[in-house]
Amino acid sequence: MSLDSTSLPLLAEALRILDEGFADPFPAEQIPDFEAMGTVLCELAVEMRDNYPYHHPLYAGQMLKPPHPVARLAYALSLWLNPNNHALDGGRATSRLEKESVGKLAAMFGWESHLGHLCSGGTIANLEALWVSGRLGPGRTVVASTQAHYTHERICGVLGLPFQSVDCDASGRMDLDALKRVLDEQDVGTVVATLGSTAVGAIDPLADIVELRKNRSFRIHVDAAYGGYFTLIRTLSSKARVAFDAVPSVDSIVIDPHKHGLQPYGCGCVLFQDPSVGRLYRHESPYTYFTSNDLHLGEISLECSRPGAGAAALWATLRLLPLQPGGSFAVDLEKSRNAARTLYRRLREDSRFDAPLEPELDIVVFTPRARSASVASRAAELVFEAAAEEGLHLALVTLPRAMMTRGSSAENVERASTEYWDQESVRCLRSVLMKPGHDTFMDEIWRRLDVATGNVAHAWAGAARTAP
């Protein structure tokens, strides 16, 4: 059996304790038709089989990670009450747990003051951060790199803010010279720095961006939806460490507990360094805030109803796995990065592959080595399909020619040859190795990739270029 069910008795015991907290007895909840419910649930289980095995290390494709068992159980436990963290009236305990948990996320970044809350995910969290930027600097441009998450541009459209993208260097990091040019030419209100880009896990040069702000006035928003927790690990590259160490100087941060924080989906978090931005949310609600003069989370968030279950799950996870450098949560993150570095090393040692970017976090991008971008792209798709047939699930990503030909590395110089670039982008294989099990499973992952590549290599063999 690969799905854990051994932890389920813990839920029954926790439910019994929860139940004891409510004095007035109530007739046991009526389950209308136990048998019919069982039938529907079994049907659902069969329907749910139509998924990739996200929980398994052989799923090494997109940014998907199962929640920690304690998060799963805590979420389920709270569903018996179904608190709503909009107001203390709807979720007194879980609002308190949310404030405590959000405080721990802010502390992880070294923030002494903050205002923040959970929300449904990275997109809404970024929307809120940019909404605050727009309220403070109406009409001013928001800038993000070409590798920033695509939703930043869309969010600016929703908010009616001008958006400008900035080129990246050969590592997928925001290019500082390109940024300087935009800062000189436009009225920039906010620079979005991505710490952990979605496609390749690149870290924008945040410390330099903070430096640039000394002579200009713009807000800095950090999108660390995916990469934020990596600040806990001790083996980051020095460039990445310097970037993470600059986070205390920024105005807002987004981090998604539902990505690397072991939470079920529906758990993003936005943090503002200056708590006074709370004034921007002020509104009158004649029907929601009655039971307490304390802060109701709905008074500092754009969304209204939100699941208290998300806060319960995050709180339980943080109790079990504190956010400490060297703690077991951080050690597991380190394993993900190790897995990425091991795969990268093996790809580099194998003449069938081209791995252009050294992984900064736990994402590896590679192509089958071929004479042209179009052949490499087709080969990547073939390996992707052949790997899935071997039970190894990878992802695909398209990277622009501009990013893969910059800089002076021998490979990029070679790749810059017009002979290779018969199209403006190349499709690559992409693997997000975000489960600790990826590290221990690396031999098996490699074995299956090897077999899959061998099964389809004839399709482009002979078209392969010589190793750079």
* Residue ranges in contact with ligand PLP by CB under 6 A: 63, 121-123, 126, 149, 151, 194, 198, 223, 225-226, 256, 268
Alpha-carbon distances of 253 from 105, 117, 198, 212, 282, rounded to whole Å: 10, 11, 16, 18, 21
What is the smallest separation between the CB atom of 195 and ligand PLP, expressed in angstroms? 8
Torsion 122-128-133-139 (CA) sign? positive
What is the smallest separation between the CB atom of 201 and ligand PLP, expressed in angstroms? 9
Nearer to ligand PLP, 174 or 449 (CB): 174
Please say whether the beta carbons of 353 and 364 come within 8 A: no
What is the smallest separation between the CB atom of 183 and ligand PLP, expressed in angstroms? 22
What is the smallest separation between the CB atom of 21 and ligand PLP, expressed in angstroms? 33
**Residue nearest ligand PLP by beta-carbon distance:** 122
What is the smallest separation between the CB atom of 429 and ligand PLP, expressed in angstroms? 18
Residues facing 368 on adjacent strands = 353
What is the smallest separation between the CB atom of 151 and ligand PLP, expressed in angstroms? 6
Phi-psi region of 196 (alpha: psi -120 to 50; beta: other; left: phi over 0): left
Nearer to ligand PLP, 201 or 368 (CB): 201
Q: Quick one: which of 430, 401, 427 has its CA closest to 416?
A: 401
Nearer to ligand PLP, 121 or 436 (CB): 121
Burial annotation 413-432 (CB, 10 A radius, 16+ → b, else e): ebbeeeebbeeebbbbbbbb
DSSP track, 245-309:
HTGGG-SEEEE-TTTTS---SS-EEEEES-GGGGGGG----TTT--S-SSPPGGGG-S-S--BHH
Nearer to ligand PLP, 190 or 194 (CB): 194
Q: Quick one: which of 2, 48, 24, 399 has its CA closest to 198?
A: 399
Nearer to ligand PLP, 299 or 362 (CB): 362
- What φ, ψ does residue 264 adopt, rounded to 5°? -65, 155
Nearer to ligand PLP, 88 or 333 (CB): 333
Nearer to ligand PLP, 311 or 383 (CB): 311
d(CA 367, CA 183): 35
Q: What is the DSSP letter of 393?
A: B
Please say whether the beta carbons of 335 and 438 come within 8 A: yes
Nearer to ligand PLP, 268 or 308 (CB): 268
What is the smallest separation between the CB atom of 229 and ligand PLP, expressed in angstroms? 12
What is the smallest separation between the CB atom of 166 and ligand PLP, expressed in angstroms? 15
Q: HSE of 349 in the Cβ direction (CA atoms, 13 Å)?
A: 8
